[in-house]
Chain A
Amino acid sequence: MSSTTPASTDSSSLLARLHPSHYLSTHLSHSSRPSSSRSPLDFPDVDLNLGPIASSSSSNRPEWIPSPSALARVGSTTVICSITPSIVYPPQMSTPSSSQASSTVVPSINLTPLSSPSADFQSGAPSNFAQCTTERLYEFLDSSLPFEPELLHIPTEGGEAAGAGVEEAKRGPPRAKWCLFADCTVVGYDGALLETAMLAITAALRQLWLPKSVFSLDENVVIASPADYWSLSAHMDSLPLAFSFAIYDEQLLACPSSFEADLAQSSMAMCLSAEKAKERKASRSGKREDTGDEWSLCAMHSTGPLRATNVALSPGKGKPLGDEELIARCLALASARAGQIAATLRAKEADVESAMQKARGAQQ
């Protein structure tokens, strides 16, 4: 990938284009970062817009239900995610109960040429970079499992409503199940793609409502209720979020921009998920306790040597951190940030919820 730099022609941007390593080193020696007012260990601002795509999912959806889409912005990177649920019919093979031949959630990333003038994104088949990011998202979603996969199984023959599919899972693959296609389109790109896409997917998943449906063996088709919908977020226990770090010249950078990421020798991406304790389930309908979310590591991907000198265990200690200690330190930084992002997400969801109640009330 080519290095991305600001397009203006003043001398600092010329220096960035001609001598990128020197430019970045000089910035870091003053504890600043190019094109941003953050310090090396700061994360960028996060903004969310829930349900921006009105035509998302299906057109026979009742109007009071929000569309399962989200627009997330982290720094200068903007990603829109839209969830399209569709029904798949898994092959009925006699395999162990936990195996499956088709996916449940399929993420995909579309890097549009309009997202970045300097990065060379072409339209057409996904590039290696897009494929790698998609694979990371797949791994992170698989590791954090925001909801039970059996939830999306469609019960057969008019049994209980969806959500009771968990008991049926043990009897073999379902005749029909929902498959969620989480399609992300990158509208603006400046690094931090994994974070933004993960946030957009998580937010969109929590906006998803599916109709109660059954698979009728008589007619061999799935019958869905036109008005009776259930919300996926009511069954989502965890909130997966991704964070990325880069190490350039033994300086740790949190959430690197694409300019920094291209030059970095090492990169780390981690997925954290808030573990909601079981006892809190009872109070979910009431007030949620935002403080005290325990963030645990679900998945991690890191390449390159891990050694940084600008993070210390306590201020003034100055001993360079390597390997395990560095991972632990990054985990701590990410956990702190995750709490803030989760609070933002919940605040937005509360707004959507109240708007939905009004619309529902107005309809009835």
Chain B
Amino acid sequence: MSSQASSSRAQPRTYNALRPLNISHGVLPLSHSTGSTSFSLGHSQSSLASVQGPIEVRIRDELTDQATLQCTAIPLRGQQGVAANSFAVGTLQKALSSVVLLHRYPRSLIQVTVQTTDEAKASTPLGWDRAQSSAGRKSIRPRRPHPDASWTMAERATSVNAAGLALIQAGISCSATICAVSVAVVPRKVARLTRKGKGRATAASGAMDEDGSDSEDGNEAAQIILVDPDTFEEEQAASVHLFAFAMAGQVVSCDDGQLKGEPEARLILVESEGGKVDSRLVSSAAATSKRGALQPLIISRIASSPSLQYLEAIRRARSAAVGKIHPAIRQSFDEQLLGSGKQGDADGDVVM
């Protein structure tokens, strides 16, 4: 059944798969910006970020011990409203301030401008009943291109990624690389339509596997966590999330006498909007979490158990950031700095 319920794409992706990443550095000429990067997810969601700095700062904005970081975010259509300004000042600036070493550039200005260059229109997949669309998330906010409409999480993710990369491209010292991932929690019927699951699991406990097979719960209203949702999935989602991780260094663990290093990803930005958490998913994820990395014992002692699905969403985002986005970033810099015939060390001499 899952393969028959096709989406408009030729090959639907699995629940945890990202759309193909495309990173281009130095898109704008050096006369216009110190560093610029275009980041896109799939062929239809992309942002261009441009960094100027460190440059001279106005006296009234000057900080004596660190650089002033000024961010602007411009939507694709319509005017910059409260949503765009709040994203720039409240989200982007705070996230970038956590990683940029501002104290190295006192009394100067670093300007980051992010422009959404392409945004995916919601394409209804085949087999989706239009009349059911009222089951999507209801909203008190207007829709795009009204200036008060909220930005989609995928758009925010590409903007944060583009801005972080543009800063590195501009040569501004950062303590970590930012990788932002968007996640949506959708009803099962939407996930079946747009993504490829591995069929039904036979485990009676109803575990959710990493590769996206869903439980035998049989409940159509049960929810599935999707990584990197497209616009249609976001519209139908019960809740949408943006998680940005700062990746620096490695967490080294010793397994059977062998040292294993995993890039350390610290959560530096969380934006979640949407509805209530489905408590059915909570108990099944807790009972049979195969990875064990989520410390289920500890979590179960915390009073507010509905957060488990949320924590699972963070975990998925983290593995996507570590597994997909960070390597793509490293590769893009390797290609740019070392040429396409990369001669660098396999572990990456390029310090991020």
Contacts and interface: CB of A to CB of B under 8 A. Distances in A.
A313 B273 contact: no
B142 A100 contact: yes
Contacts, number: 168
A136 B86 contact: yes
Interface stretch (B37-45, B186-194, B206-214, B292-300): B292-300
A327 B142 contact: no
Interface in B77-130: 82-83, 85-87, 89-91, 94-95, 98, 130
B304 A335 contact: yes
Interface residues of B, number: 53
Contacts of B83: 135, 138
Contact of B246 (A150, A265, A305, A327): A305
Given A148-B138, A305-B267, A327-B270, A332 B314 contact: no
Interface residues of A, number: 61
A132 B141 contact: no
A143 B271 CA distance: 12
Interface string A107-151: 000000000000000000000100110111011011101001110
Contacts of A335: 303-304
A48 to B, nearest CB: 23
Contact of A136 (B90, B139, B267, B299): B90
Contacts of A313: 298, 301-302
A128 B86 CA distance: 7
B133 interface: yes
Interface in A280-309: 294-307
Residue of B85, B131, B275, B277 ringed by the most chain A CB atoms within 10 A: B275
Nearest to B124: A96
A328 B140 contact: no
B223 to A, nearest CB: 13
B266 to A, nearest CB: 5
Contacts of A42: none
Given A139-B150, A324-B314, A170 B134 contact: yes
Residue of B91, B136, B302, B304 ringed by the most chain A CB atoms within 10 A: B304
Interface string A147-172: 01110000000000000000001100
Interface string B273-307: 11111000000000000000011001101111011
Contact of A149 (B94, B140, B150, B246): B140
B269 interface: yes
A136 B154 CA distance: 18
7 contacts: A132-B86, A135-B83, A297-B306, A303-B95, A313-B301, A331-B307, A332-B303
Interface of A: 96-106, 128, 131-132, 134-136, 138-139, 141-143, 145, 148-150, 169-170, 265-268, 273, 275, 294-307, 313-314, 322-325, 327-329, 331-332, 335-336
Going nearest first, the 7 A-B pairs with the smallest beta carbon separation are: A135-B86, A303-B94, A132-B90, A104-B140, A302-B270, A300-B272, A324-B311
Given A128-B85, A150-B138, 11 more contacts: A103-B142, A132-B90, A135-B90, A143-B239, A145-B138, A297-B272, A300-B270, A303-B268, A327-B310, A327-B311, A335-B304
